[in-house]
Structure 1
Amino acid sequence: MRFLGLARKNAWRKPLRTVLLIFCISVAFLIYGLTASFTNGSQGSAGASENILGVMNAAGRNQSLPMAYMSRIASVPGVSSVAYVARLRGFVGAEKNVMAVSAVEPQLLAEVNGKELALTPDLVKALSASRDRVLVGRALMTAQGWTVGQRLTLTSFQTAAKDGTRDWRFEIVGVFDGETESADTYFIIARYDYINALRERNADTVDAFIVRPRADISSSELAVRIDALFANSAVPTRTQSEKQFLEAFLRQYADIGLIINLVVGAAFTTLLMIVINTMVFAVRERRFEIGVLKTLGFSRRRILGLVLSETMLIFIIGGIVGLFLAKLASIAAGPVLGLVFTAAVLAKAVCLIVLLGVAAGLLPAINAMRAPVTKALRAR
């Protein structure tokens, strides 16, 4: 029998024990896959840009900026293009069905952020044709089950129209997919002139300006220039990259990264304790067989490799099952929960499988390697 074949036979000597170990490993890597995917989706490490800048009111993201700032920002050296956005939050149908609307000027948004959002000329043209038209992100479109041509009514939480109602009616004319799978597409793009003409308050103001730096300019350097321009004005600004903004927003509520690391760390620590304890007993049960293998000429290194191979095989099977389930969950619920299972998550998981497999199998493997032949043969 070949070396790997012997390792496989030993690993499945007691099927129930092996299945339970694989189940524990699968659960641990399912937890890792889901939490890592959530970190990617929520903190913007996968889809948020580090180059595109957002210029907001220094007093807080809920405070507006005057539209007059746009020409001054565009004149700053290093600015390639500028767009603006006014945000509208509300619900469609049930009050818990919350979603966000970004009111923009279509052509300007296409120049600044069109590549990242995959805004084609046809989509921009369709949005520009009528003031009440909107584009819906693929993730939101899929989650809601909407169709192109459908009309929807969004009830705003704060923005009221001049007639006193908070209902805003739109027609869906297209779907944008985003440049990559991890791009955030769980929102609606509407026209600023439609919202601005009908809203009761804050006319001719925006929530943020979106700035694309020139290719030869550092985004952090440009951010400092923009904020310095308005440092002594009545409404100072704070300029951040999209990624920085998302991370700062989440830190208002909790240190998501720390919480996730603690959860994953606890899961893997518990897993190691279970597997190491189980493998130590499994090797102890086979002391006589290990003595026979040594008598037949198996070196200490081959005994070490045999036990490590058994542990690694169990970890590989369990890890694959757990990561496969995490990938399925990201496909099924990713648009709603913000799960983004990327190649980086998979690569880190593979490294963890190898590392944990070695760590769990090392102690029982060393015990088996050091066991004296005479003592092992007296075990039966």
Structure 2
Amino acid sequence: MSFFDLARKNAWRKPLRTMLLMVCIAVAFLIYGLTASFLDGTQGASAASDDILGVMSTSGRAQPLPLAYMSRLAAEADIAGLAYITRLRGFVGPEKNTVAISAGDPKLLMAANGKSLGLTPALLDAIGVARNRILVGRALADAQGWVTGQTITVTAFDTARQDGSRDWRFDIAGIFDGENASTDTYFIIARYDYVNAARAKGKDSVDAFIVRPRPGVRAGDLAARIDALFANSSAPTRTQSEKQFLEAFLRQYADVGLIVHLVVGAAFVTLLMIVVNTMVFAVRERTFEIGLLKTLGFSQPVIAGLVLGETLFIFITGGIAGLVLAKAATLFAGSDLGLVFSPPIVAKALAIMITLGLATGLLPAMNAIRTPIIKAFRTR
């Protein structure tokens, strides 16, 4: 019988107890998988870029910037791609059916952030046919049931047309999918020239500039130079990476990362206490057998290894089951809830399983190797 077989048989000595432990561990790692997927999908590295910069007003998103800043930014040698957008929020049908529109120059967006958005030359050709054409993100199109060629009317909340109406009619020219599953595609790309010409106020202004630094240029250094460029202007700027902006936006409501880490930490601490207590009693039940193993010549490291192997087997089996459930949940609800189950989550979960498995087995393993043979035989 191999070392692994012996550890596995020890773990299944009491099948009900082992199954309950595995269920507890699976639930804990299910919670971890879902919460980590939520963070990864909303503010993690896969959801936002550290390299793409957004230039906005220091007064916030509500204060626009002059489109004339474009020429001054274009003169910066370390900028590889530059675009601008103005935002329009409204609803389609019922007022609660809110959609977001980013109006810009599609060709400039392609150069600045086209790879991340999944824009293609065919999509650019399609939106270039008429000024009222738009590109719809895959997530939004699926949620609304929209298809290419359909005409939609967006009633803006605060962007009125020159005729006083707040209804904006658009023809869907195509659907963009994003670079990967974590890319936000729950919005619309429209043409700036159409929105700018038709709106009643705010002409020739934008909500933000999108900047892609040249290779080898540090985004932080470039952001500082851009803000210094407009420091003494009538509309000073604040330049942040896409990731920084998203984290700051979410932090307006709550520190989501801290809340998630506290929830997961509480789950793992509770799990640690349960498993340690259970394993101490499980090893105590086998005191006589441990004494017999010592009599047969099993060394203390081998006996400790058997106990640690047992806890590792329970943790890895239960943890993998929890991760499988988390993966299944993200497949069913990932696009709706923004869940992204990425390989780094799996790698971190495996590290946590091994760490907790060794930590919970340490105390019962120490008790096992310190038990004298004579005392062990007296338990029978």
2:214 corresponds in structure 1 to: 214
Aligned: 1:293 with 2:293: yes
Structure-2 residue corresponding to 1:77? 77
Whether 1:201 aligns to 2:196 is: no
**Counterpart mapping for 1:1-380 below 5 A:** 1-380=1-380
Q: Which moved more, 1:76-85 or 1:138-147?
A: 138-147
Alignment identity in percent? 66
- Change beyond 3 A, Cα 1:280–1:216: closer
The answer for unaligned runs of 5 or more in structure 2 is none
Gaps in structure 1 of 5+ consecutive residues? none
CA distance in 2, matches of 1:6, 1:249: 53
State which drifts further: 94-103 or 30-39: 94-103
Displacement after TM superposition at 1:285 (Å): 1.4
* Letter of the 1:66 counterpart: P
Aligned equivalents of 1:39, 1:329: Cα separation in 2: 15
Task: Note the C-alpha offset of 1:194.
Answer: 2.0
- Is the partner of 1:217 in helix, strand or coil? coil
Change (3 A) 1:151 1:376: farther
Instruction: Quote the Cα distance in structure 2 between the aligned partners of 1:15 and 1:183.
Output: 44
Q: Mean Cα displacement is larger for which, 230-239 or 77-86?
A: 77-86
* 17-26 vs 134-143, which moves further: 134-143
1:241 maps to a residue whose letter is S
Aligned-partner residue type, residue 199 of structure 2: R
Contact kept? 1:143, 1:335, Cα under 8 Å: no
Task: Give the 3 Å change call, closer, same or farther, for CA 52–272 of structure 1 in structure 2.
Answer: same
Question: How far is 1:44 from its partner?
Answer: 4.0
Change in CA separation of 1:96 and 1:317 when aligned onto 2, cut-off 3 Å = farther
Q: Tell me if structure 2 keeps the 8 A contact 1:186–1:335.
A: no
CA distance in 1, matches of 2:358, 2:142: 42
Number of residues of Structure 1 aligned to a counterpart in Structure 2: 380
Structure 1 residue 360: Cα displacement = 0.9
Give yes or no for contact 2:182–2:338 (8 Å, CA) kept in 1. no
CA deviations over 1:25-78 (Å, ceiling 9, x no partner):
111111111111121222142231212211101111121111111111111232
Q: Which amino acid in structure 2 is aligned with residue 189 of structure 1?
A: I
Q: TM-score, normalised by structure 2?
A: 0.95
Partner of 2:55, secondary structure, is strand
Aligned residues of 1:76 and 1:225 also touching (Cα < 8 A): no
Deviations 1:168-205 (A, max 9, x none): 33232222222233222222211112222222221221
| CA distance, structure 2, for counterparts of residue 251 and residue 245 of structure 1 | 10
Question: 1 CA distance for matches of 2:154 and 2:333?
Answer: 23
Pair 93,311 (structure 1): closer, same or farther in 2 beyond 3 Å: farther
Aligned amino acid, residue 283 of structure 1: V
Q: Give how far 1:282 is off.
A: 1.0
Give the distance between the partners of 1:92 and 1:284, measured in 2 at CA.
Answer: 66
Report the aligned-residue RMSD. Answer: 1.7
- Closer, same or farther: CA 331–152 of 1 in aligned 2, 3 Å: farther
User: SS where residue 257 of structure 2 aligns?
Assistant: helix
How many Å separate the matches in 2 of 1:371 and 1:200?
Answer: 85
Structure 1 length as normaliser, TM-score?
0.95
- The answer to whether the Cα contact below 8 Å between 2:137 and 2:188 also exists between their aligned partners in 1 is yes
Aligned equivalents of 2:50 and 2:80: distance in 1?
A: 15
Seen in structure 2, the aligned counterparts of structure 1 residues 55 and 379 have a Cα distance that, compared at 3 Å, is same
One-letter amino acid of the structure 1 residue matched with residue 5 of structure 2: G
